[in-house]
Amino acid sequence: MSDTQPRRRRRRPAVSCTLCRRRKIRCNRETPCSNCTRSRSSVCEYETLPVSPHRSRESERDEASSTTTSTTVPVLEMESMRNRVTLLEKEVENSLRRMIRSAPQRPSTADTPVSSIETAESRIGGTFYIHHGNPALGQSPNIHRSLTHKKRMYGQSHWMNMSVVMVKDIAEMIDGHARDPSTQEFSEKVFSGMHKCKRIARLVKSQREPPWPCPPTPELPPKNIADDLVDCYLRTCESVYRILHIPSFKRSYEAIWVTDNEIDSTFLVQLKLVLAIAAAVYNNNFTLRPSAMRWVHEAETFLANPHLKHRLNIQYIQIYCLQLLARQSAAVGEDMVFISTGNLIRSAMFLGLHRDPAHLPARTIFANEMHRRLWNTIIELCLQASIYGGCPPLLSQDDFDTQPAGNFDDDQLGSNEAIARPETCLTQSSVSIILRKTFPARLAITRFLNNFTSTGSYEETLQLDSDLRTGYKTLRDDLRAFDPSNGNLPSDFQIRVLDTIMNRYLCGVHTPFFVPALTDTKYAYSRKAVFDTALKMWYATFPVSEDIGVSPSNGTTTPMRDDFQRMVTCGHGFMRSATMQSIMMIAVEMRTQLQEDDGLFPTPLRRDLLAIIKEAVSWSIWCMEAGETNVKGHVFVCLMRAYTQGLAKGLGKGELARMLVEASHDALQRGMELLERMIQNEVPEQDQAGLGSLSLDDLTPEMLADWQSIVSHVVRVCLSRRANIL
């Protein structure tokens, strides 16, 4: 349109009140209009509502196109109602504002609603805070997501996360028995005995700990013992977690004994870590534990050197991997290994191990294969530390592209023309290659269990279960496909380790739904899966379901244990926690079956399950004879055995509580005997003065107070002597 052309005015709809239309005069369309105001007319009616000046042109067009209402509404009355509603809304809003300003300020609970945290407290176990699912993240509030105990948070994969829920009723019965005046005195002896055992354990551990810092020394055990330890390591851990190049390591090891030259400090640290790992499977009672702990502390001092740049290489990564395994074997801060794996994986990435050698400058086959082997071990240690510690893996498939190692024997890597052997031929790397194939499925399960943003839905649980079972079937087929004519078959130790690892993840993915499955048939598959995998993990440790023997202190001898049984008895970490979790799940399943029985006569216990619980009691004694200072594990399995036996006999709640307290008393008495034996063997005689030989029946509150002061004094003396050494 040209600028000179006049603009057309939009015609406004001819809307007039009844009076103006009848008199045929112009209406200003107000409410009331000016004509009605001058004529003092009480009613100003419109057939169509007037258009307010502030309304848009679109609204005017809509109102113009609307049909004329058949019934007229008094506009003045309607406007009055609108004003009253507006006034009331403003009054309500002002009242709410005054209430909010006058209310006391409270801390925000939007992030952690109080209703999502359940407190479980008992004198025998302490205080636990159970965190339920957050519906805002799509999680079910009936599922336990994590557990806080002693300022530490454990995710769903940690065995303690479910144990508190499952034994809650046992703890409540014991606490109730302690509050009963007629039985309070006997119950208090149990709690006092627990306190005394803890004090003795602190004394023993303070004596075992070497001074810090602990610089590496050239001292080594005699050659015959060192040879046996090196063989133990190579046939156990190294056969699953590839870290060393065995021919190179053996050459350096033999050179130590034939030359008088000064030993390279880096290789010496590496060798001592190998000896420390093997010490846990050297004999039944872990007689080399003090030496193993010292070797671990020496390696920790070596790694703590702030001048790291000049030594950051492949050998440093090997030492770090060995250090993590040795800490779990010798129980040196084994529950903190998850923290150290973060440093390991970042150091490896700093060296480029997370990138496949195909994307790096050309190197020898030896360098490329050691690169891939070490990265495979690093991510495996990271995943197992996450499951063991109940923490997120902090690793994803997008963080690396390093391929699995080739199927080479170590002696092949000396030639650049070496060709990988077929998959049906067993090599020194075959087991680690097979395990690596299941890594994606196991990583997904770990993230599902321990990432706080995971929905934790049952549908995803079933999908993860299906994926892992598919990988498990492939793993079994690969192990069975080895041709005996081309090489040896996998060892019994390797097969049992792989079986325990796979079943630990299968059990873990269903564990969150195990407790709901005890009352809700919708999760019945999870209940069956947890129980089946728990049995498999136990039978991987003790393949024959029969009595595994009694303690040598009872006058008889135990059968010779194999490498895997020694690993889960003398050592700590992933494998031992899997065995402990299997016991707990089996005991809870037995308890539930007895509680579900609605017959007239008590149901007899399954002999195979009862045999496992009896074996578990013997196994817990083995652990303490091998140097375990925490008596709670032994008390726990004894309580589970007494509880299932009491339910099978149909005992009432009062009798069952008394039976549990007596079982705790007997277990603590047995544990105290083993701890006092440790004191006699490991604590110098001058530091044992005043400890005496006490039993739980002799304890009184006054004696307990004296006992605490005596032990505190002994601990201070030990620590001061260690400080003087420094």
The DSSP secondary structure of 78-109, one letter per residue, reads: HHHHHHHHHHHHHHHHHHHHHHHHHSPP----
Q: What range does the domain containing 22 cover?
A: 13-56
Write the CB contacts of 302 (distance below 8 Å, at least 6 apart in sequence). Answer: 216, 265, 266, 269, 319
Q: What is the pLDDT of residue 478?
A: 94
Residue 541 pLDDT exceeds 60 = yes
Q: How many C-beta atoms lie closer than 10 Å to residue 652's C-beta?
A: 9
Is 416 inside a domain boundary?
no
Cβ contact 664:639 at 8 Å: yes
Strand partners, 121: 127
Residue 276 pLDDT exceeds 50 = yes
Residue 244 pLDDT exceeds 50 = yes
Q: What is the pLDDT of residue 711?
A: 42
| Most confidently predicted of 63-72, 307-316, 347-356, 706-715 | 347-356
25-39, 289-303, 504-518 — which is least confidently predicted? 25-39
Q: What is the pLDDT of residue 76?
A: 65
Residue 54 pLDDT exceeds 60 = no
Is 19 inside a domain boundary?
yes
Distance CA 432, CA 404 (A): 9
Distance CA 52, CA 162 (A): 68
Question: Encoding tokens for residue 79?
Answer: 């406007």
| Strand pairing category for 117-122 and 152-154 | unpaired
Write the CB contacts of 643 (distance below 8 Å, at least 6 apart in sequence). Answer: 170, 587, 591, 656, 660
Is 43 inside a domain boundary?
yes
10-19, 187-196, 353-362, 531-540 — which is least confidently predicted? 10-19
Distance CA 354, CA 723 (A): 42
5-9, 323-327, 510-514, 530-534 — which is least confidently predicted? 5-9
Residue 298 pLDDT exceeds 80 = yes
Spatial strand order in the sheet of 152-154: 117-122, 126-132, 144-149, 152-154
Q: What is the pLDDT of residue 275?
A: 97
Distance CA 196, CA 700 (A): 12
Is 675 inside a domain boundary?
no
Is 716 inside a domain boundary?
no
- Residue 148: which H helix or E strand, with range? strand 144-149
For the chain, the domain total comes to 1
How many C-alpha atoms does 174 have within 13 Å on its Cβ side? 28
Q: What is the pLDDT of residue 284?
A: 93
Is 610 inside a domain boundary?
no
pTM for the complete prediction?
Answer: 0.78
Q: What is the pLDDT of residue 414?
A: 86
Distance CA 682, CA 567 (A): 22
At 469-501, the pLDDT tens digits run 999 999 999 999 998 876 688 999 999 999 999
Which 3 state secondary structure label does DSSP give 697? helix
306-315, 400-409, 421-430, 572-581 — which is least confidently predicted? 306-315
At 681-711, the pLDDT tens digits run 776 555 554 454 445 555 444 444 443 443 4
Q: What is the pLDDT of residue 595?
A: 81
Distance CA 418, CA 401 (A): 23
Which 3 state secondary structure label does DSSP give 149? strand
Is 371 inside a domain boundary?
no
Q: What is the pLDDT of residue 98?
A: 62
In terms of DSSP H, where are the helices of 390-489? 430-437, 439-450, 458-480
DSSP state of 7: P
Averaged confidence pLDDT in the chain = 81
Is 17 inside a domain boundary?
yes
The percent of residues in the chain predicted with pLDDT above 90, rounded, is: 46
577 confidence band (pLDDT: 50, 70, 90) = very high
Residue 103 pLDDT exceeds 60 = no
2 confidence band (pLDDT: 50, 70, 90) = very low
Which is nearest to 640 in space by CA: 608, 617, 619, 624? 617
